[in-house]
Amino acid sequence: MVMEDKLSKVRFRLDQAPHIKVRAELCESCEEKGCLYVCPVQNYVCTNGKVVFSWQGCMECGACRIVCPKGAIDWQYPRGGFGVCLRYG
């Protein structure tokens, strides 16, 4: 099963506030930008040399936080009842 097939079985219950925040001032000085490569759903993209993050589709794996050498990612689990719901469909 390819990643797209697996992701088609995932549902998200979004909260109003993001549960992950990226501190741009730290992120801009990062040369490796490992978050671009480690995120399984590609929520991080590089646009005009700046990393842009979309928290809404987060799979809550925490890989971005682990790979960030600058500590620029403030990553928390979403509030109870919100976030990713696996194995639907």
Instruction: Please answer whether residues 87 and 55 qualify as being in contact, where contact means their C-beta atoms are separated by less than 8 angstroms.
Output: no
| Of 50, 45, 56, 52, residue with least CA distance to 18 | 56
Task: Kindly report the CATH number assigned to the domain that includes residue 58.
Answer: 3.30.70.20
- 88 found inside a domain: no
pTM for the model: 0.75
10 found inside a domain:
no
Query: 20 pLDDT exceeds 70?
Result: yes
Write out pLDDT tens, residues 26-83. Answer: 988 888 899 999 998 899 999 888 899 988 888 888 999 999 999 999 988 888 877 7
Q: For residue 67, which phi and psi values (nearest 5 degrees)?
A: -80, -15
Residue 44 forms part of a structural domain? yes
Banded model confidence at residue 89, pLDDT cuts 50, 70, 90: low
As for how many domains the chain has, the answer is 1
Q: Does some domain include residue 73? A: yes
Domain range for 54 is 17-78
Structural domain includes residue 86: no
